[in-house]
Amino acid sequence: PDIPCETLSNASIARYSRQLILPEVGVKGQLALANASVLIVGAGGLGCPAALYLAAAGTGCLGLLDYDTVELSNLHRQVLHTEQRVSVPKSSSAAFGCNQLNSTVRCIPYHMQLDSQNALQLLRQYDVVLDCTDNVATRYLLNDACIMAKKPLISGSALRFEGQLTVYNYQDGPCYRCLYPTPPPPETVTNCSDGGVLGVIPGIIGCLQALEAVKVICSLGNTYSQRLLLFDGLEGTFRTIKLRPRQQSCVVCGDNPSVTKLIDYEQFCGSRANDKEHSLELL
Amino acid sequence: PDIPCETLSNASIARYSRQLILPEVGVKGQLALANASVLIVGAGGLGCPAALYLAAAGTGCLGLLDYDTVELSNLHRQVLHTEQRVSVPKSSSAAFGCNQLNSTVRCIPYHMQLDSQNALQLLRQYDVVLDCTDNVATRYLLNDACIMAKKPLISGSALRFEGQLTVYNYQDGPCYRCLYPTPPPPETVTNCSDGGVLGVIPGIIGCLQALEAVKVICSLGNTYSQRLLLFDGLEGTFRTIKLRPRQQSCVVCGDNPSVTKLIDYEQFCGSRANDKEHSLELL
Amino acid sequence: MELVVSLEFSGGAELLFDKVKNHEVSLPARANGPWTIKHLLVWIKDNLLKERPELFVQGDTVRPGILVLINDADWELMGELNYELKSKDRIVFISTLHGG
Amino acid sequence: MELVVSLEFSGGAELLFDKVKNHEVSLPARANGPWTIKHLLVWIKDNLLKERPELFVQGDTVRPGILVLINDADWELMGELNYELKSKDRIVFISTLHGG
Ligand SMILES: [Zn+2]
Ligand SMILES: [Zn+2]
């Protein structure tokens, strides 16, 4: 939104009354939400619940990026889509679903692949970025782009019965590269198509990503910056890990960064940025 | 469902492929889900995400009970409803939303208040019950009815930035009365209307309720029976508490129960089973 | 000798303690015997509670709807009112939530 | 003297260890100096790893994409390979997840 919203309409006061009466949110927090823009990269298992709850909370603008279209096998976890919207781009399906819940949110669908050419220009238009992607190459790309565009990155991931959550590049916490300077060998990486995932696991992590976004936007403190949440759904355990601070030696967020432009992340990781590529090439 | 489903259709295999390949679920677990019926009491902040993810996972039958209709002020947390369905009974709005995601789930809306007259007969038709209600009287009613009908009760609650989760009456764990033999003084009870709630908090707890239901249905073990999860969204902490076992002295689930029929829970608790009563009486 | 324990209030119980959830407290030595949860409740009522004690204690125990945890276990497993406090114990008072 | 520590594998790393997530292990006394994480990695490779060690170790450290935790803290805060193991330490090896 270009012109900041400075007062809440009566309709907004009625609609958000249950969270307005929280002293930690209040009118100030609700206005911060109304003036905030959040880019959700990936409208899949993580992106769906994150988008739903950020739309519900009254986020001013939601960017919804996904290169893919809705398939029936997505619906066991991607709950913002519907049977009727199978074959529709996930970005527009998600935007449609969010607007049904809250028509006052400006939802912008991006039916495209994030890459080194388009990432920076796009990210600069948003305040907060959610990593709801499903592959290593895009995770490195998004990390580096968030450093360069100075945006906090709320990162979630899920596989089988497990989920992980953290916040990168926020309040002197580390970035993805501070933790993982070298990409994993491609043969050690398992995606949800191959490894499977119980649908509600990304549901839980995506909700937690929405909560972290609200906390960043409303300056509520105690985010998962420099902390990592490990959730094991099979054992029913949550563990919070204290992480290293930002690393001065980090090649992208360190004191003397050597990576100052986006690179070729598929080459860097030795893996594709999507697992749909070969089927698209067949068409 | 009356006739148990013994094989998965090709459509089901395609649809649930990502959870079918989990060895802990597999065809056996997916069939258990297809043959399971879950009653969700309350289609509000907890019930919406729980219903969504149980529908997505392929639960055979979902009962959705709520006496209330959708209001605009619900939509900041009750994400299965839409602006267009404001004024529609929540039970049918939730059933509609679940069926848009998964038309193979048999959704049964109950637009009514659960009470001592109708509870037992209803609960007996279901395998698992989710407590997604918002008041003390209904929580005691649901607990006692689950003991009498021998059903596991998956209980969630949320207020402000906090949430709680546990499983009652399952595998020799305690029931609600084992923990709380006496109801709290009415003046100490705060509901979401008065105390407020950040929408995504019941989102997280409702998702966890759906996960517990899947674990009970698929016999995956390690449920929150005899454990209590305390989630503090403001501090970003999860704490798991070891609870007492079933109490032999419990008046409802103990060795010599004195409560063997459902009682008047509004009188027992000194509070109403809904906070809508007086406005309804005005009509 | 003083006994240092940490007290935590949550689920709304912290509203009775100036909204402060975590309290590190030093309990003075007791002449006659060890500190128990029963003594602790009296001490909290006299020293920490800001207002309306009936919303926290009833008689010599906590009011219905508050669950007491001793080092992450339900106090029923630990002896309830008679549990003897040790240095660095973490005692949590949770008000049960009912909202949805 | 033997050193008892607990090892945990998660995020998929447990698949290299017969899908067992929790291992309580007794490490034999070392003649020359204390046990460090560096020694532990060699011991795991020789004693616990069932197959394909290259999916767990690379050179003398863990392969990229595995995070090591020492008692719930990132090993970077604890000295990484040179951390000296103490009795009852809990060392966790997490494989990072990338799915969504
Ligand atoms: Zn960095
Ligand atoms: Zn009982």
Chain C: closest CA distance from residue B70 (Å):
14
pLDDT band at A165 (very low <50, low <70, confident <90, very high): very high
Q: Give me the pLDDT at residue D99, please.
A: 92
Q: Give me the pLDDT at residue A273, please.
A: 83
Assess whether pLDDT exceeds 80 at residue B279: no
What letter does residue B125 receive in the DSSP assignment?
T
Please report residues of A whose CB lies closer than 8 A to that of D21. Answer: 235
**How far apart, in Å, are the Cα atoms of B236 and each of B77, B145, B174?**
19, 34, 27
Question: Is residue D91 in some structural domain?
Answer: yes
Q: Give me the pLDDT at residue A280, please.
A: 36
- Cβ contact, residue pair C98, B135, below 8 Å: yes
**How far apart, in Å, are the Cα atoms of A39 and each of A47, A93, A255?**
10, 16, 27
Q: Which of C45, B58, D98, B279 is nearest to A156 (CA)?
A: D98
Structure tokens at A14: 């009625």
Handedness of CA C13, C16, C22, C28 (dihedral sign): negative
pLDDT band at A281 (very low <50, low <70, confident <90, very high): very low
Q: Give me the pLDDT at residue A278, please.
A: 41
Assess whether pLDDT exceeds 90 at residue B86: yes
Q: Which of D69, D63, D51 is nearest to D7 (CA)?
A: D69
Assess whether pLDDT exceeds 80 at residue B1: no
* D23 neighbors D91 (Cβ within 8 angstroms): no
Assess whether pLDDT exceeds 80 at residue B72: yes
pLDDT band at D51 (very low <50, low <70, confident <90, very high): confident
Q: What average pLDDT does this structure show over D21-48?
A: 94
Q: Do chains B and C touch (3 or more CB pairs under 8 A)?
A: yes
Question: Is residue D100 in some structural domain?
Answer: no
Q: Do chains B and A touch (3 or more CB pairs under 8 A)?
A: yes
Assess whether pLDDT exceeds 90 at residue B258: yes
Q: Is A159 on the interface with D (CB under 8 A)?
A: yes
Question: Separation of A61 CA from ligand 1 center, angstroms?
Answer: 28
Q: Give me the pLDDT at residue D79, please.
A: 96
Closest residue of chain A to D11, computed from CA coordinates: A162
Q: Give me the pLDDT at residue C9, please.
A: 96
Rounded CA-CA distance A109/A92 in Å is 5
pLDDT band at D52 (very low <50, low <70, confident <90, very high): confident
Assess whether pLDDT exceeds 90 at residue B190: no
Question: Is residue C22 in some structural domain?
Answer: yes
Assess whether pLDDT exceeds 70 at residue B35: yes
Question: Separation of B234 CA from ligand 1 center, angstroms?
Answer: 26
- At residue A109, the 3 state secondary structure works out as strand
Q: pLDDT (tens digit, 9 = 90+) per residue, D75-94?
A: 999 999 999 999 999 999 99
- At residue A234, the 3 state secondary structure works out as coil
Assess whether pLDDT exceeds 60 at residue B181: yes
DSSP strand pairing (A227-232 vs D66-70): unpaired
Q: What average pLDDT does this structure show over A68-84?
A: 98
Name subunits touching B (3+ CB pairs < 8 A).
A, C
Chain B: closest CA distance from residue A81 (Å):
7
Q: Give me the pLDDT at residue A103, please.
A: 98
Q: Give me the pLDDT at residue B281, please.
A: 36
Structure tokens at C11: 């689920």
Q: Give me the pLDDT at residue A171, please.
A: 96
pLDDT band at B191 (very low <50, low <70, confident <90, very high): confident
Please report residues of C whose CB lies closer than 8 A to that of B230. Answer: 10-11, 94
Question: Is residue D66 in some structural domain?
Answer: yes
Q: Give me the pLDDT at residue A149, please.
A: 98
Select from A134, A184, A235 the Cβ nearest to the Cβ of D64: A184
Assess whether pLDDT exceeds 70 at residue B2: no
In degrees to the nearest 10, what's the CA dihedral of D10, D13, D15, D20? -50
- Cβ contact, residue pair D99, A156, below 8 Å: no
Tokens 């009522």 identify what position?
Answer: C45
Please report residues of A whose CB lies closer than 8 A to that of B214. Answer: 198, 200
Rounded CA-CA distance A143/A164 in Å is 16
Structure tokens at C43: 């001490």
Chain B: closest CA distance from residue A266 (Å):
25
Question: Is residue C36 in some structural domain?
Answer: yes
* φ, ψ dihedrals at A105, nearest 5°: -85, 130
Average pLDDT of chain C is 94
User: Domain of D25: which CATH number?
Assistant: 3.10.20.30
Assess whether pLDDT exceeds 60 at residue A24: yes
- Cβ contact, residue pair A103, B83, below 8 Å: yes
Q: What average pLDDT does this structure show over A88-101?
A: 98
- Cβ contact, residue pair D72, A158, below 8 Å: no
Q: Do chains A and D touch (3 or more CB pairs under 8 A)?
A: yes
Full domain range(s) for residue D82: 3-95
Q: Give me the pLDDT at residue A213, please.
A: 98
- At residue B108, the 3 state secondary structure works out as strand
Question: Is residue C100 in some structural domain?
Answer: no
Average pLDDT of chain A is 94
Q: Is A187 on the interface with D (CB under 8 A)?
A: yes
Assess whether pLDDT exceeds 90 at residue A271: no
Q: Give me the pLDDT at residue C51, please.
A: 79
Assess whether pLDDT exceeds 90 at residue D31: no
Assess whether pLDDT exceeds 90 at residue A192: no
Q: pLDDT (tens digit, 9 = 90+) per residue, C44-85?
A: 999 999 778 999 999 999 999 999 999 999 999 999 999 999
Please report residues of B whose CB lies closer than 8 A to that of C10. Answer: 162, 230, 232
* Percent of chain B residues topping a pLDDT of 70: 96
Rounded CA-CA distance A61/A43 in Å is 15
Q: Give me the pLDDT at residue B272, please.
A: 84
- Cβ contact, residue pair A160, B208, below 8 Å: no
Q: What average pLDDT does this structure show over B175-197?
A: 92
User: Greater confidence, C3 or C31?
Assistant: C3
Q: Give me the pLDDT at residue D76, please.
A: 97
Residues with Cβ–ion distance below 5 A, ligand 1: A 175, 177-178, 250, 253
b/e D41-70 (16+ beta carbons within 10 angstroms → b)? bebbeeebeeeeeebbbeeeebbebbbbbb
Q: Give me the pLDDT at residue B264, please.
A: 96
**Domains identified in chain D, total number:** 1
Q: pLDDT (tens digit, 9 = 90+) per residue, B107-122?
A: 999 999 999 999 999 9
* Percent of chain A residues topping a pLDDT of 90: 90
Q: Which of A153, A243, A238, A167 is nearest to A204 (CA)?
A: A238
Q: What is the pTM of this model?
A: 0.96
Assess whether pLDDT exceeds 50 at residue B277: no
Please report residues of D whose CB lies closer than 8 A to that of A228. Answer: 67, 74
Q: What average pLDDT does this structure show over B130-155?
A: 97
Instruction: Locate the DSSP E strands across chain D.
Output: 3-10, 22-27, 57-58, 61-62, 66-70, 73-74, 90-95
Question: Is residue C44 in some structural domain?
Answer: yes
Question: Separation of B252 CA from ligand 2 center, angstroms?
Answer: 5
Q: pLDDT (tens digit, 9 = 90+) per residue, A238-257?
A: 999 999 999 999 999 999 99
Q: Is A182 on the interface with D (CB under 8 A)?
A: yes
Average pLDDT of chain B is 94
Q: pLDDT (tens digit, 9 = 90+) per residue, A130-160?
A: 999 999 999 999 999 999 999 999 999 999 9
* D21 neighbors D14 (Cβ within 8 angstroms): yes
